[in-house]
Amino acid sequence: MDIIAEIEELKKKRRAIILAHNYQRPEVQDIADFVGDSLELAREAVDVDASVIVFCGVMFMAEMATILNPDKVVLIPDNSAGCPLADTITPSDVRKLRKEHEGVPVVAYVNTTASVKAEADICCTSANSVEVVQSLESDEVIFVPDRNLGIYTQKNSDKHLIIWEGACGVHVGISKEDLLIMKRMHPNAKIVVHPECNPEVMDMADAIASTGGMVKYVRECDAQEFIIGTEMGHVYRLSRLFPDKKFYGLYNAVCNDMKKITLEKVRDSLKNMQYRVTVPDDIARKARRAIERMLALR
């Protein structure tokens, strides 16, 4: 039996649903029931009609699915798929920030561990960071852990942000020079970048958006060609959604953790019910409050 048929059969047997992030390998995106950005996946994970969720993404995303579905089994096909950006901050770092800035609310980007989310007042994704920050009464806001998303959010809001110095190596590796070369090769293409990119890269873009926001931008834009300043997996996603448009990615923009998930590991995950993602109850309860507060905004 081929591997795709095997996955389909196991999915039925386990009453499972497969969720995949936009950065997943093409073949993993193709077998998923739902593909999306972090916010879309968090929303999709609420009340899914299945007993098992196989989460094809990185650990912080699978943890969110677990927190939002305490009664379901959440599996990640490779439990070493982490996010180096999330690892730049610990719960005690957040507690220290709170002590240094008494009374200032904490916004945690979802690219954080569940125990960091548990220390936050509210979460945000790259799709809603401005809206989340604006929803707070305080003029000052602690924003963790992504520096560039913090700078972008501050620029587009009227708050003063106290920003943690974390960054995503994949996105800061996208240089202005790389994009200029691409633009010379494709002069009619629009440059679309993720807000985890460096400010000088954001400054030269036609649009700055989360991966889900990029889908919306391309759908509404008359242009036929786009240079995509985010992880390569999203170039496949966009090409599949818009087969008549052209997308140019940057070959160095690859997240090794996202690419750890393969079809074989998805099959083994369903076959052996591995690797179960769990979050201790007290952490899950506090983190859920911060995530649900974000989800309630829209």
Q: How many CB atoms neighbour CB 183 within 10 A?
A: 16
Cβ proximity of 81 and 260 under 8 Å: yes
Residue 112 binds ligand SF4, judged by CB under 6 A: no
How many angstroms from the chain centroid is the CA of residue 64?
11
Least distance to ligand 13P from the beta carbon of 109, Å? 9
Distances (CA, A) of 76 to 84, 116, 217: 17, 20, 30
Of the listed pieces 185-193, 209-217, 221-229, 250-258, which binds ligand SF4 according to CB under 6 A?
Answer: 250-258
Q: How many CB atoms neighbour CB 293 within 10 A?
A: 15
CB under 5 to 8 A by kind: which of ligand SF4, ligand 13P, none does 125 bind?
A: ligand 13P
Closest CA to 129 of 148, 113, 114: 148
For the segment 259-278, give every residue that binds ligand 13P (CB under 6 A): none
CB under 5 to 8 A by kind: which of ligand 13P, ligand SF4, none does 37 bind?
A: ligand 13P
CB under 5 to 8 A by kind: which of ligand SF4, ligand 13P, none does 91 bind?
A: none
Q: Which is nearer to ligand SF4, 10 or 215 (CB)?
A: 215
Phi and psi (nearest 5°) for 144?
Answer: -135, 155
For the segment 141-170, give every residue that binds ligand 13P (CB under 6 A): 168
Least distance to ligand SF4 from the beta carbon of 40, Å? 15
Residue 85 binds ligand SF4, judged by CB under 6 A: yes
Cβ proximity of 73 and 273 under 8 Å: yes
The token pair that represents 219 in the structure block = 């759908």
Q: Which residues bind ligand SF4 (CB under 6 A)?
A: 58, 83-85, 111, 168, 170, 231, 255, 257-258
